[in-house]
Structure 1
């Protein structure tokens, strides 16, 4: 039976449901016994059109009006009189903390809060603005909560649609081929300007500036007055081939433009002019062509009036140009020789016209340029013009000069103009050399940072070797202990060789050589070196995904960049902390609003002191450093920046003072190349030499003595030469005495690779095996196809490579027989 209490008389459909609800089954009891505060709030709620809600008591009993019922969706009317927790069970983890604050006596107000609701049986994204106000009883205790709210889902969705539409229009605006701009207010302040407009005015700063501020040179030419007229009258203005002269931003030179454009007034809803829309096209080429045509027509009329005088005058002008031009001018015959030449040939190259005319152009061309030049001469003979073709001409004194040619065929001849660009080429070469020097300086700074850590590791390894050799000298040593010490020495040598190989690979000097590689594998491989660099007090954590992430970049420069970022992190942590290196595939670069492109992100996060906000914009500048004198050149992070840009990527930093830093290197992701796994070489037993004669070439006495003794133990006969010249003399004494040559690479005078080439020239059937710990020749040119044994090598490796070389040589001799 409906209740008739006065505070329940309003409320529409929800009010009727409140009056007919069985409240005796709830902790509130009959409405007549409700607290006065609750009655008052219910009366206010039912009399309001705004969505309102009351939550009462520890059971969170829910009362609301028609406005809030619409927000409940399909959960109304079952939610009326029930628990607020049951009403919003799907978003309770978001609602409960706010409700708890209200029950604790704290009022809250929130705008645009997002919830994922299932109020209509399916998930939907909703937005609300609401305030939770605590309700107290006569004793001042919080007994409930009152909420006035509004659902803003529709408004948010409409704003999103409007934003998307604006972005679409801005894209169309930016991509339009014609120049466009939007000017606001009586001062004609730039609100928008598309790329075509910015290019037109020389990429000046425009947005936020008035026309008078951004384009002062246009004011005196009457364009500001035209804008004022359009703004004042509301009438559009159209111009055709209107001349505009702008001052060049970079060099101050004047640029003359001719434009077709329209000034279109922009009106608000009340019909008042609020701005001017500018749109047009650059018709400079067309206008200049028309001006030239009119000028030519005038000249033609003038020539017709006094043809003979004009012909003589023009001939004199052309003849004077031919004589005084600093460029090489000539008329080329289809058969490839110059018929006529101007005096500049003798000035630039030293050859007179009589020495060159009638002579094939290929006679004076640099040998490396002959083939290309012959192709160009053939193209001219076929009627194809040539522009900016570069080659080298021999001068009378025997040198060469670079020339840039433009040639146009006409009437069976080609009319050629060559400009001397030798100095430009020299500047380009000097710039390339300076850039290479900068890259090497950056590399060597990183190598220098490694020195301390590598020295520490080598001292540890030498300690193991020294201790083991001392123990091996003790008399009466048991066989198992002797074997243990020998194994320790062998294992330690292998670790030292691995460390040396890592350092040499990292320090190699070479030009940029991009290749496709797996970033995860590269980071994992160099992480051990990073640990050496940072020291034991810094924990290194490497997180690499299982799925390979491939990039196309220079692996050496990548390693350098990684080490430089690690050095920077180490210094900010003052030798103690945690460095986390993460690798992952990402789509786009969110901080730069680059979306959809595939990148590999390599991030280094440290727990150091962070970077001050004032230094963030300068940390990638060359030679900028916040370290003390002698603690760094400031080249490290500039190398990272340069490598990222050269590789088509970016490098970003996030940092707060006292909270560490994260450097993230983004490189474009590419498809991986399939790699065929190489079978591992199985260890082979020692092979006896059976009297095979080996010519050992080694300038170091200790290494030479050890090599000959080792080979003797294996059953080889040896002859030891201490230089390449000595080795060649030994070969001449008894030409067919030796079956293999075993030579070091780094030696005074002729090196090992040069010796091997000479031996192959003299004795093509005599195999040569090279050995080296490191050689700049080897690093730059490779082993030239010879067998190569890396120092330090084991007896097993030496035995195997000699057996392989001798067996191959013998097999080749049998095949020839």
Structure 2
């Protein structure tokens, strides 16, 4: 080895020791002659403990060691690359790894050594297992749903495509329409006598618009058996568009009840009520029911949870409006009024506020029911907690806003000032600050901050002035969270910085590089 090659060799060793993949080399006796740091870390062994040994010497399970040694021999004898995967239990636990054994040729194309590279694919195996589990669960649920639909007390059919071709019908639907060949047939071909009664036109409109249609007490005339007189039935039904992930409509679910026979109606309503209750519970839906005049409201337990109420609370409209955010009360009242006057769906998003100031976003959907004279006699609906959805939307909007505001900035300090300002405004905190930590790790400087109703925190500080908990958590790379200084600390903690800055609650987020605290960002509320 010439001295001129030493820098290149050292560089290569440095690179191989710094990458996450496991890199190693075997001699012709299948013994390790090179091992990078990543593999040593996995084994939790030193180089002297491992160099010159084979898999048996290193305590690999006999079956695995035999397989690996044989694969190395294949490469030595054939000069062909070997690729494989295996499970391996290291001191850190069970993992899954893919590896490649590659020949290293010498003079005369003789294989002098075998180079190996191994990559941890544990996450991939877990994802594969999770995907298989989800697919299996989905198939079970799909089968269960199909069976439930077939056995449902209402008539159900699934129509596919713009021509409304029958894809699935349950037994009740077959009993309703008589002995007909349905699957694969267009609805217009099966029921030519229904042309002109308006049903086909409604199906076309639902398919084009993606909007559901609710039909109540609908009169229809059709042939149950070919050649017989037209039979009249009175139906309540829904045409529900089937919408895919790309928002395209691929079909229509037909769901309804034949009200021609009162006894059958009562039985179907009872079963549907039970099914609806199960669906609401399973879907985490709050429900509300109220009769006219609009005074008392009946809420289920989940609906009361949405509004931070105990389950034994009695609710009326005055209480309901008082639980809403002040900015949402009037528009909610107007939305209910409009829905009832125009006989349209009530669909609104508003905020429920707890006595201690917590906020929850709610999506409420409902409709009115009317008597023969057209007067509303009932107003019912559901509530859905959409707080997480709103938080995601706001967070995404914040990221877009920060990106737009800083895209053209060249100055790092100006960029950070924009970031802390946007974040502070978004979180509605007293202060949002960014600090650089000194080399000693015990002092830091607040470079930029955003304040609202409090003094600026810009300046130099000792980390210990924020207490031992802050020192331990932040240096360990843990987020510091103190929700209430008075409840979570004592005078002995010597939190001088908390007092000078009047901090009541704080979240501190450390930036650790190479095991060392180098910067921090914090948000806090003052007294």
TM-score range with shorter-chain normalisation?
Answer: 0.3 to 0.5
Higher relative contact order (CA 8 A, sep 6+): 2
Bigger Cα Rg: 1
> What is the TM-score when the length of structure 2 is the normalising length?
0.34
Q: Please, what TM-score do these two structures have when normalized by structure 1? A: 0.24
Structure with more of its chain in strand, by fraction:
2
Structure ranking higher in helix proportion: 1
